[in-house]
Amino acid sequence: MAEQAIATPMTRRDLLGAGAGLFVFFGADLEAQEPVRLPGRQSGPSDFNAYLKIGADGRVTCLGGKVELGQGAMTELAMALAEELAVALDTVDVVLGDTDLCPFDMGTFGSMCTPLLVPAVRRAGAEAKAVLLAMTAERLNVPAGQLRAEAGIISESSHPSNAVTYGQLVEGKRIERRLANVPVKTGAFQVMGSSPRRRDGPDKVTGSARYAGDILLPGLLHAAILRPPAHGASLKSADTSEAEKIPGVRVVREGSLVAVLHERPDVARAAREKVRAEFDNPPAGPDDRTIFDHFLKIAPEPRVVAHSGDLAEGERLAAAVVEQTYLNSYVAHAPMETHSATAQVEDGKVTVWASSQAPFQVKNAVASALGVTAEKVRVISRYVGGGFGGKTEADQGVEAARLARLTGKPVQVVYSREEEFFYDRFRPAAVMKIRAGLANGKIVLWDGQVYGAGEREADPFYEIPHRRIASVGGWQGGNPPGMHPFSVGAWRAPSVNSNTFARESHIDLLAAKAAMDPLAFRLNNLANGRIRRVLETAAREFGWTPAGTPSGRGFGMACGVYSNACNATIAEVAVNRATGAIQVKRVLMALDEGMVVNPDGMRQQAEGSVMMGLGYSLGEEIRFRNGEVLSNNFDSYRIPRFSWLPKIQIVLLDNPDTPALGGGEPPIISMGAALANAVFDAVGARVLQLPMTPERVKAALAQS
Amino acid sequence: MERSVSFTLNGQSTTVKTDDERMLLWVLRSDLGLTGTKFGCGEGLCGACTVIVEDEALRSCATPLKQVAGKRVLTIEGIGQHGLHAIQRAFLSHQAFQCGYCTPGMILSAYALLLKTPHPTREQVARHMEDNLCRCGAHPRILDAIQEAAGAAKAGA
Ligand code: FES
Ligand code: FES
């Protein structure tokens, strides 16, 4: 059934057909809160702002422009709507990531679903319920104050049999009544705060979840596109005659796009191998070893992004100064589903199923590539097999749409794993220099420069009277020309993983210099109550006892902030001095995520962050040379696996007074420093570069 | 070379006429329309494409069609045909997935393990699942789910 629904898509008319439901319309208040970093910012049309629909059968549809990437958006939005509308959770259906059906959304990134879309859906639900109560009051001639709404039924409190269902109320009518300023619930939640089963579960455990590459349409052709061997290599010539001899193969060229198509994906790929192509050699460029010097050489003076006091005064006050340079490599998103898209052009209407975190951006990109108006393009991103920031752009959607138009057939483009690595917009490599001064257990000076990572969370939240932070380059563009040899982009908690690694590593260096316990040192320099609380909670739950570092125990801590969520992580490791291998035994994480809508969903994100954090901290690193990406599959790019799994303890702090915060990114930010500090605590060797490969651990041991 | 290849797919006898050197993954997904078996790497490195052939977990991206001629093949579409399998139920109750893309391969790998080792230790489960990759980090829950499914099997469920 699900497959039918996708193969012959529901239309907005089906959903919003005249007389079939009640609509609640919203002003464009979401738009004001959108981040400014991304291009293509636009407001949603005012008549396209419906977040919910109540069917004549009483079932409720929740509509959201976000995408289910695995982070549990479907479940969380259903919970939010069920709560405010007062309907049973299992009567809510969720439709996400469909640009024809769902209200405009910038994209699913920056952990914004919980802080922005959940409130919007809650307001929609609250307003709809108030309208329904008002309608019922008129219909039953009972004052609204004597009515109660529960499980989709409105009844008179004193005569429960005097009742009407939501379905009966809206049946046969189209209602556009609005009520201003309807408050959402502030407590006594019945659904929010619980941990129901995920809505996407049945589809996912039975294999019936359809991802973009699972859309099979009559006459579908699979495209294998000719790709350059290296970034910067341009196509000189392509002889496709051998490929064209394979029965059923079609070759299409448009500009530099050369595609081999066949009704079977493997045959198309094999045929692409027969294309004899010549590319210009790209100019020589940096490799994964020289990249850091390359940054320092070509980058202009970092721009000051935060400043207080007077650095000279800080220098004068400091009894000791600690200076260090931290590095991290490029890392890949490596979602298990590669970028995929299926496109169809029918009667001038373009439909693209795309694995994308930002279907509305894909819609605009497809429209401009095809030279059609955006209304002619529909993008559907129902299930996406992981994103982590890497599916914000969806070039494959544009490729599939162009090829569908060129061939007159539906076309599917599924990146090979090698293409996925090649075209990934990596987390940028980075250099972070920090010079900090210490006096009587207090930090009196902090002078930091960031190259490549971006500035977010580079400014320490510790109480430091004399500080200056400067930054150049970053994941969101604005990089000096030639700085990164390929595209970079948002990788789960962009720039914050790098800056937290550097800052919290440096804090432990200072603690060691001050001969203080790392927890006591942090608390001694920290006024922020929420961060203090996560640190203290983590320490208590972990069983931290004060000791100077290195203590030989292999315990390391780090704390961080991401989009107002606070995190403290403590890791326990063992280090094999002979091999340099790090074994992570235990990770405990305390999180202040504000009010938690779905505690188990939050835990899933935190557990996943621990695993992914192990990856960027211990093993993941893109190797490259002269524009060629040498790490191109899961043998040359190792991601965490079952044998890496430590004991994981997640502690969610109770903080109902802070609104719910995004949960996908904050838990990953402290992993690098917690592990680096744990390694130092175990063996006294400071590893200054992520990932902490065995070679780097051995080199640090040799220096310690 | 193009031949008719017959095998039993999810309990049904099936014949495909195609180049029998082609990998089973593509025949399942494209020729037969069974898209529950996923493509992740194409090189036998991720386990997303795992299927069961004669009770063994195999990487369908690296298994030529001719290798399954006359054999029993089970995919994710086949294991819950008569109500969800205990492993599927345990994946649901432990929420042992996020994006779900690795899930069919995980479930089928676990299925093969439990056929051979009905009561594995956690270490045995982890070792068996080592080469099934999950980028979302559902690992602890996947281990929990498989152990629970093994327990349910023990209890005769
Ligand atoms: S697709 Fe077969 S192992 Fe990865
Ligand atoms: S659940 Fe996403 S890859 Fe495993």
Question: Using the beta-carbon criterion (under 8 Å), do A200 and B33 form an inter-chain contact?
Answer: no
Count of positions (residues) in chain A: 704
In a domain, A286, yes or no: no
pLDDT, tens digit, 9 for 90 and up, residues A439-471 = 999 999 999 999 999 999 999 999 999 999 999
Report residue B96: phi and psi, to 5°: -90, 40
pLDDT, tens digit, 9 for 90 and up, residues B75-115 = 999 998 889 999 999 999 999 999 999 999 999 999 999 99
ipTM of the complex: 0.97
Arithmetic mean of pLDDT over chain A: 90
Say whether residue B91 is in contact with chain A using an 8 A CB cutoff: yes
Give me the pLDDT at residue A704, please: 86
Q: Which residue of A has its CA nearest to B31?
A: A264
CA distance A521 to B135: 35
Q: Considering only A1-10, A93-102, A193-202, which range has the smallest mean pLDDT? A: A1-10
Query: Which range of residues forms the domain containing residue A637?
Result: 291-330+426-703
CA distance A501 to A295: 19
| pLDDT exceeds cutoff 50 at A194 | yes
Report residue A604: phi and psi, to 5°: -60, -45
Question: Using the beta-carbon criterion (under 8 Å), do B143 and A386 form an inter-chain contact?
Answer: no
Strands A411-414 and A221-225: parallel
Give me the pLDDT at residue A46, please: 33
Same domain, A173 and A222: no
Same domain, A524 and A496: yes
A212: helix, strand or coil: helix
pLDDT, tens digit, 9 for 90 and up, residues A26-63 = 223 322 222 333 333 333 323 324 688 898 898 999 99
**Ligand 1, pocket-test mutation among B43, B58, B130, most atoms within 8 A of CB:** B43
In a domain, A86, yes or no: yes
Mutate to test the interface with A, among B99, B122, B143 (most CBs of A within 10 A): B99
A387 CB less than 6 Å from ligand 2? no
Give me the pLDDT at residue A479, please: 87
CA distance A580 to A687: 11
Question: What residue owns the CA closest to ligand 2's atom 3?
Answer: B134
Domain B2-79 has CATH 3.10.20.30: yes
Same domain, A348 and A431: no
Percent of chain A's residues with pLDDT above 70: 92
Same domain, A9 and A106: yes
Q: Which CATH architecture group holds B86-155?
A: Orthogonal Bundle (1.10)
pLDDT, tens digit, 9 for 90 and up, residues A77-99 = 999 999 999 999 999 999 999 99
In a domain, A421, yes or no: no
Question: Using the beta-carbon criterion (under 8 Å), do B98 and A265 form an inter-chain contact?
Answer: no
Same domain, A443 and A408: no
Same domain, A583 and A562: yes
Integer CA distances (angstroms), A593 to A34, A179, A606, A652, in order: 20, 31, 11, 7
Same domain, A15 and A156: yes
Q: Which residue of B has its CA nearest to A609?
A: B137
Reported as a pLDDT band with limits 50, 70 and 90, residue A111 is: low
Question: Using the beta-carbon criterion (under 8 Å), do B139 and A635 form an inter-chain contact?
Answer: no
**Alpha carbon B15 to its chain's center:** 21
In a domain, A618, yes or no: yes
Reported as a pLDDT band with limits 50, 70 and 90, residue A113 is: low
Percent of chain A's residues with pLDDT above 90: 80
In a domain, A367, yes or no: yes
Give me the pLDDT at residue A26, please: 29
Q: Which atom of ligand 1 is nearest to the CA of A634?
A: 4
Q: What is the mean pLDDT of residues B134-145?
A: 98
A177: helix, strand or coil: coil
Reported as a pLDDT band with limits 50, 70 and 90, residue B151 is: confident
- Please give the distance, rounded to the nearest whole angstrom, from the Cα atom of residue B62 to the centre of ligand 1: 7
B143: helix, strand or coil: helix
B117 within 8 A of B153, measured Cβ to Cβ:
no
pLDDT, tens digit, 9 for 90 and up, residues A257-309 = 999 999 999 999 999 999 999 999 888 899 999 999 999 999 999 999 999 99
Which residues in A lie closer than 8 A to residue B133 (C-beta atoms)? Answer: 336, 634, 639, 641
Same domain, A216 and A317: no
| Nearest CB partner across the interface for A416, out of B35, B42, B77 | B42
Domain ranges of chain B: 2-79, 86-155
Domain boundary among A173, A206, A239: A206
CA distance A569 to A560: 9
CA distance B91 to A510: 45
Instruction: Name the minimum distance, in Å, from the CA of B138 to any CA of chain A.
Output: 6
Percent of chain B's residues with pLDDT above 90: 93
The stretches of A183-310 forming alpha helices (DSSP H) are 201-205, 241-244, 265-272, 291-298
Nearest Cα to Cα of residue A588 among A639, A532, A544:
A544
Strands A163-165 and A153-156: antiparallel
- The answer to whether the Cα torsion of B71, B75, B78, B83 is positive or negative is positive
CA distance A459 to A505: 14
Q: What is the mean pLDDT of residues A338-367?
A: 96
Question: Using the beta-carbon criterion (under 8 Å), do A205 and B80 form an inter-chain contact?
Answer: yes
Q: What tokens does A18 get?
A: 């005249």
Give me the pLDDT at residue A3, please: 33
Same domain, A492 and A536: yes
In a domain, A420, yes or no: no
Strands A92-96 and A60-64: parallel
Q: Is A331 exposed, middle or buried (0-12, 13-18, 19+ CB in 10 A)?
A: buried
- Residues 6 or more apart in contact with residue A223 via CB below 8 angstroms: A259, A260, A261, A268, A399, A400, A403, A411, A412, A413
Eight-state DSSP code of residue B136? S
A568 within 8 A of A630, measured Cβ to Cβ:
no
CA distance A461 to A113: 25
In a domain, A364, yes or no: yes
| pLDDT exceeds cutoff 90 at A25 | no
A420 within 8 A of A629, measured Cβ to Cβ:
no
Same domain, A314 and A343: no
CA distance A585 to A479: 39
In this prediction the pTM is 0.93
Q: What is the mean pLDDT of residues A186-193?
A: 91
Give me the pLDDT at residue A18, please: 32
Give me the pLDDT at residue A112, please: 67
ω into residue A550 within 30 of 0, thus cis?
yes
Q: What is the mean pLDDT of residues A679-692?
A: 98
Question: Using the beta-carbon criterion (under 8 Å), do A70 and B98 form an inter-chain contact?
Answer: yes
**In this structure, which amino acid lies at residue A45?**
P
Give me the pLDDT at residue A43, please: 36
CA distance A575 to A696: 12
Domain boundary among A181, A206, A231: A206
Q: Is A373 exposed, middle or buried (0-12, 13-18, 19+ CB in 10 A)?
A: exposed
Strands (E), B76-137: none
Same domain, A277 and A369: yes
Question: Using the beta-carbon criterion (under 8 Å), do A204 and B100 form an inter-chain contact?
Answer: yes
Give me the pLDDT at residue A110, please: 67
Same domain, A535 and A643: yes
CA distance A425 to A421: 9
Give me the pLDDT at residue A22, please: 36
Question: Using the beta-carbon criterion (under 8 Å), do A336 and B46 form an inter-chain contact?
Answer: yes
Nearest Cα to Cα of residue A166 among A48, A158, A157, A175:
A175
Give me the pLDDT at residue A15, please: 44
CATH number at residue A260: 3.30.365.10
Reported as a pLDDT band with limits 50, 70 and 90, residue A105 is: confident
A474 within 8 A of A495, measured Cβ to Cβ:
yes
In a domain, A419, yes or no: no
Q: Which residue of B has its CA nearest to A195?
A: B95
CA distance A179 to A81: 17
Percent of chain B's residues with pLDDT above 70: 97
Q: What is the mean pLDDT of residues A352-380?
A: 96
Q: What is the mean pLDDT of residues A161-178?
A: 81
DSSP string computed for A339-397: PEEEEEEETTEEEEEE--S-HHHHHHHHHHHHT--GGGEEEE--B-S--TTTTSS-HHH
What are the percentages of helix, strand and coil residues in chain A, rounded to 5?
30, 25, 45
Give me the pLDDT at residue B155, please: 52
Q: Which residue of A has its CA nearest to B86?
A: A205
pLDDT, tens digit, 9 for 90 and up, residues A489-536 = 999 999 999 999 999 999 999 999 999 999 999 999 999 999 999 999
**Alpha carbon A430 to its chain's center:** 20
* H-helix or E-strand spanning residue A561: strand A555-562
A586 within 8 A of A595, measured Cβ to Cβ:
no
Say whether residue A70 is in contact with chain B using an 8 A CB cutoff: yes
Chains A and B form CB pairs within 8 A to the count of 176
Reported as a pLDDT band with limits 50, 70 and 90, residue A477 is: confident
Reported as a pLDDT band with limits 50, 70 and 90, residue A686 is: very high
Query: Tokens 């690694």 correspond to what residue?
Result: A501
Q: Which residues line ligand 1 (CB under 6 A)?
A: B 39-42, 44-49, 59, 61
Say whether residue A197 is in contact with chain B using an 8 A CB cutoff: yes
Domain boundary among A206, A234, A267: A206
Mutate to test the interface with B, among A6, A216, A267, A336 (most CBs of B within 10 A): A336
- Please give the distance, rounded to the nearest whole angstrom, from the Cα atom of residue B134 to the centre of ligand 1: 12
